[in-house]
Amino acid sequence: MSIRIEQNNCIGCGRCTDVCPGNLLYLRDHKATIRDARDCWGCTACVKECPKNAIFFTLEATLGGAGGRIYAHDSADTLTWELALADGETQRITVNKRQANAY
């Protein structure tokens, strides 16, 4: 699993570059770019931070994901993970952020 950046959707806000703990992301010509995707350890910070859904995880075909994508929709109270599967199916998992640690 690794991230991909859809540069056509990127508005160059720099939020992803600010949150990446490995300093892997930077802006090139006002578009987010990753230095080397192999260095990404999948913390999801940039996926959750992007306001334009320009960053997503790919579910690699070699790992059984057949090229599906995972997006995040963040709001004040909830975080919704959207799985866009390769067969066109979409699944959503919503987490109440205020209760995320209540176990």
Interface with ligand SF4 (CB under 6 A): 3, 5, 10-16, 19-20, 22, 24-25, 32, 34, 40-46, 49-50, 52, 54-55
Minimum distance of ligand SF4 from residue 18's CB (angstroms) = 9
Minimum distance of ligand SF4 from residue 90's CB (angstroms) = 21
Q: Could you tell me which residues are beta bridge partners of residue 81?
A: 72, 93
Minimum distance of ligand SF4 from residue 80's CB (angstroms) = 17
Q: How far apart are CA 90 and CA 73, in angstroms?
A: 14
42: exposed, middle or buried (C-beta count within 10 Å: 0-12, 13-18, 19+)?
exposed
